[in-house]
A and B are shown apart, each in its own frame.
Chain A
Amino acid sequence: MSDRAEIAHLLKRTSFNVSLKQVEELTALDWEQALNVVVDKAAPPQVIGKPNFRNYYLSPDDEDEDYDKDFYLMVEFELARLANPIGGLGDRMLWFWHGLITSGYSEVDVSPLLYRQHKLLAKHALGNFREMMIDITTDAAMLTYLSGDGSTGDAPNENYAREVMELFTLGRNNYQQSDVKAAAKALAGWYLKAYPSKSGPFDPNRIKAFFDPESAYNEPVTYLGVTAKFDVPAIINQIFKQDACATHTAKKIFQHFVHSDPDEKTIHSLGAVFRNANYEIKPLLAAIFRHPDFLSSKARATRIRLPLEILLATAAAFSMPVADLDHYTYFNATKHWIFDPPNVAGWPLDNRWLSAPQALARISLGLTAFELPNRNSAVQAISQAKEPVLEALKQASLYEVSTTTLNEFNRVASSISSSQTRAKALLALAIASPEFAIS
């Protein structure tokens, strides 16, 4: 038997929602067995099929309204996929990678290309980090987003060369400005072919990345201490030879799943695990979730939730399809559109997500509980329960709440006589509670 609270904590960090049923099932196991089920045996994200893209190319002179339609279709498709069945560790990792190795609609008009990158990240999400980086360097969406497409040896573009080190792998101060210039040269010569010349139906699968030796740099460069002619795999391999690669990435993953402030010893040892596993992601995750910090008070109820996570948890609390929630308004208000990070830094996990505008957006989202029909199963469950407050907390997967929040639940419950209205008010309150913004 495991401790229920610890199991709930583990499930909160390794999925997009936690049902009481899951808690019961895992509590019956011992802790190591539970980790085995949830972490070691986590399935890769299942990204099957695709949104019903229009596959209509718009030349730069055309209005881009129809490009928006494809983008929204893709967002809805992914939200539905994450909600049912509720995404587990594979999907949590997929969206971690999206926030680290970024690309977005702000620069990549053609959503099928973003979707292609999404499948690439899904393929590697619980696989191998080095292979992921090699593949994504010549991914069509990435070549567009960070200006690799059309970067020539004569005028190499430094955008990807800088961000691949600063943000995606090594972190600041672990490379020189000369390395950025060198990588830009070595990565020059790639371009995307088969864009249509005018508006009309097209097959986005035809848009592919090609290497043109004529426009490449073709001379040796000195990169991270080594002078040679580098191709894409060689550049990535050279990055991965740096100690910082494993420690920087291990730290980011730790911060995403455990807490924001790991000590040097922890980062160092997790980096070693990652390096020794040849950058296989699962062994690192196995070590992270077994680290003593995971169950420490530093990690309990301290993980700030991102709007994507809050949206999915709200749909689960309301026992409703996520498509029926107004994600459009919510993502606009929180500036957290999936597939469209505000900039290349993604969605940093910091206090901005707890600020007043974010709180207001969450309260507003929660108030849509009043639009639920009386026959909704969450409303029914709460209105028919002997203890509506406890039932509402269970529905919202709020297994530990402060006395302040509990007092308000009790106050609201006793102020409303209609059982259905009471149920909806309690659901709204659950989403509004500060605890709902934290995992």
Chain B
Amino acid sequence: MKTISSPFSFNRRDFLTINSVGLAALLLRGSFSTKADKLSKGPRRLVVLEMNGGNDGLNTFIPYGLGAYYDRRKDLAIAQSQVLPLNSKWGFHPALPRLKKRYETGQVAAFLGVGFPGKQELSHFAMQDIWRSGYLTGFYDKVQTGWLGRLLDQIAEPTIPLAGFTLAASVSPAMFSQADKNAASEYIDSTSLEIPPELTNILRNSFQKMAIANKTDNPVLKVARRGMVNSLPIADLLSKVGKPNSAYSQTYTGYALAFTAQILAANDWIRVVHVPLPLDFDTHVDQLSRQQANLSELDTALESFLNELERLNLADQTVVVTTSEFGRRVSDNDGDGSEHGTDHGTANTHFVIGKRVKGGMYGDSPSLTKLDSNGNLIITQSFQDLLATVAEGWMQASAREVVPGGKVQNIFS
């Protein structure tokens, strides 16, 4: 699969001008949470996992009790003896024993049949666009904000320079926002500002001054300047972030989540972390072995991450949600030999994980017999409902503004 990213452009009406005194104040360690929070200390955080390529939900949360599952999937189905059963009808993919255990302790909500409610386009580019924008019409040159960006515009503290973090080299379109309190980095050591101590104030001052718009700037210079506004805050944040826990950061996914844990632990700035998982879920070929490898790496990393949140006293305040641009075709794509895989699909199962989640299944499972004209599942709930639920139900923003049209489900206690 080759993903083609959306064009990156944003407009900001205002930007932060920081004078050196203000910056010094911001560099102080300490908590900035001001909202009284009924739950334990610190504000609520959201970690969004993006399973790019289109994870096969049917083999992840498996309706193995249905004959139609085996009839349709044939060689691609997970054998009954391998499924990790929850009951006589549903079970998890064999690579997810830890997630299954959490599900059984009631910490996991499984949203069934989640997808795009409009005409199915089955294109990575178009569907990633739509999911990230949070709008049924996607970005399409008109919209400049993503759902997580709009969420942060609502809840972020005005005095904090950064509120969102993308675990990648560039900010995800899902995080595009008016206030642009966005950081991005793929590695903890990708950048550091090594300035001779006696020059720190002078040079930092100059970097900030060069970020201030000038009436004579041409449009490109304008954008170049705006890019500098967040550059020092990102460096400052990264300098506070501890080293990712080596116990589970040997895999790429483990590293991403271990890094995420440290970002959340560093201070209260970052409210949303967007993690495009470094795994390719686009299983046109070799689905059985590739999904096994993907889900296994995810299961181990996720469990370590959730345990670490517990140790860092962040578990009560943090919810994890999965996203993916689509599920996959019900039947395999008729590859000969062992190359079985699936084409692009529609409905998917997504998980919301956290200690305050009221665990269980939400929504109706899509029919395996009544499919659409492409042989795909017909969705039973809109992706907007999943996004609205975490945006309002957990992060306490107004879903109407963050994901207009999305129905908030009551899944948190």
Partner-B contacts on A (CB < 8 A) = 155, 159, 163, 297, 300-304, 329, 332-335, 342-345, 348, 350-352, 354-361, 363-364, 367-368, 370, 402-405, 407-408, 411-412, 415-416, 421, 425, 428-429, 432-435, 437-438
Contact = CB atoms under 8 A, between A and B. Distances in A.
A360 B214 contact: no
A407 B234 contact: no
Contact of B203 (A159, A163, A360, A429): A429
Contacts of A300: 218
A364 B191 contact: yes
A361 B190 CA distance: 8
Contacts of B29: none
A140 to B, nearest CB: 19
B46 interface: no
A13 to B, nearest CB: 14
B199 A343 contact: no
A355 B2 contact: no
B294 to A, nearest CB: 17
Contacts of A438: 220-221, 224
A404 B193 CA distance: 22
Given A359-B227, A405-B210, A416 B199 contact: yes
A357 B196 contact: no
Interface of B: 2-5, 7-10, 168-171, 182-187, 189-196, 199, 202-203, 206-207, 209-212, 214, 216-221, 223-232, 234-235, 335-336
Contacts of B5: 342-343, 345, 348, 352
Contacts of B189: 329
Contacts of B217: 402
A363 B207 contact: yes
B190 A412 contact: no
Given A421-B196, A432-B210, A335 B169 contact: yes
Contacts of B190: 329, 332-333, 361
Contacts of B214: 402-404
A144 to B, nearest CB: 14
Most chain B Cβ neighbours within 10 Å, of A360, A363, A364, A438: A360
B392 to A, nearest CB: 28
Contacts, number: 166
Given A351-B9, A363-B231, 18 more contacts: A159-B2, A297-B218, A343-B5, A352-B170, A354-B220, A360-B191, A360-B193, A360-B234, A364-B191, A367-B194, A370-B195, A370-B196, A415-B202, A416-B199, A429-B203, A434-B210, A434-B221, A434-B227
A432 to B, nearest CB: 6
B275 to A, nearest CB: 15
A351 B8 contact: yes
Given A301-B218, A416-B199, A438-B221, A355 B193 contact: no
Given A357-B185, A432-B207, A343 B194 contact: no
A304 B212 contact: no
A344 B4 CA distance: 7
A5 B10 CA distance: 31
Given A364-B193, A437-B224, A404 B210 contact: yes
A437 B219 CA distance: 13
Contact of B199 (A332, A361, A407, A421): A421
Contacts of B225: 434
Contact of A351 (B192, B223, B231): B223
A110 B214 CA distance: 49
A435 B7 contact: no
Contact of A356 (B193, B199, B227): B227
25 contacts: A301-B218, A302-B220, A303-B220, A329-B191, A335-B168, A335-B170, A335-B186, A350-B7, A351-B9, A354-B220, A354-B223, A355-B227, A356-B184, A357-B169, A360-B191, A360-B232, A360-B235, A363-B231, A368-B194, A370-B195, A412-B203, A421-B199, A433-B210, A434-B224, A435-B221
Given A350-B7, A404-B212, A356 B234 contact: yes
Contacts of A361: 190-191
Across the A-B interface, give the 7 residue pairs with the lowest CB-CB distance, nearest first: A335-B169, A352-B8, A356-B230, A434-B224, A333-B190, A360-B231, A344-B2
Contacts of B212: 404
Given A155-B335, A329-B191, A421-B196, A358 B170 contact: yes
Most chain B Cβ neighbours within 10 Å, of A163, A354, A438: A354
A343 B224 CA distance: 24
B228 A343 contact: no
B157 to A, nearest CB: 19
A357 B184 contact: yes
Most chain A Cβ neighbours within 10 Å, of B199, B212, B216, B230: B199
B2 A163 contact: yes
Most chain B Cβ neighbours within 10 Å, of A302, A357, A437: A357
B54 to A, nearest CB: 16
Contacts of B202: 411-412, 415-416, 425
B231 A359 contact: yes
A370 B4 contact: no
Contact of A155 (B216, B231, B232, B336): B336
Contacts of B196: 370, 421
A375 B27 CA distance: 36
A198 to B, nearest CB: 22
A359 B192 CA distance: 12
Nearest to B2: A344
Nearest to B9: A351
Contacts of A355: 8, 170-171, 184, 227
B210 A333 contact: no
A334 B7 contact: no
Nearest to B4: A345
